[in-house]
Amino acid sequence: MDARSSEVIRKKLDYLEQTLAEIEPYLRTSYAEYAGRPAHRRVTERLVQITFEIAADTSDLLVQAAGRRAPGSMREALSAIRELGVIDDALFERFSRTYVGLATASFTITRRWTIGSCLMQPGACAKMSWPF
| Residue 15 domain-assigned (yes or no) | yes
Least confident of 15-19, 37-41, 70-74: 70-74
| Residue 113 domain-assigned (yes or no) | yes
pLDDT above 70 as % of the chain: 73
| Residue 129 domain-assigned (yes or no) | no
DSSP the chain: --HHHHHHHHHHHHHHHHHHHHHHHHHTS-HHHHHH-HHHHHHHHHHHHHHHHHHHHHHHHHHHHTTPPPPSSHHHHHHHHHHTTSS-HHHHHHHHHHHHHHH-S---HHHHHHHHHHHHSTT-SSS-----
Total structural domains within the chain = 1
**Average pLDDT rounded to a whole number, residues 33-46:** 88
State pLDDT tens for residues 22-32.
988 888 888 88
Which residue range(s) make up the domain with 93? Answer: 3-120
| Residue 131 domain-assigned (yes or no) | no
State pLDDT tens for residues 46-101.
998 888 888 888 888 889 888 998 888 877 888 888 998 888 888 888 877 766 55
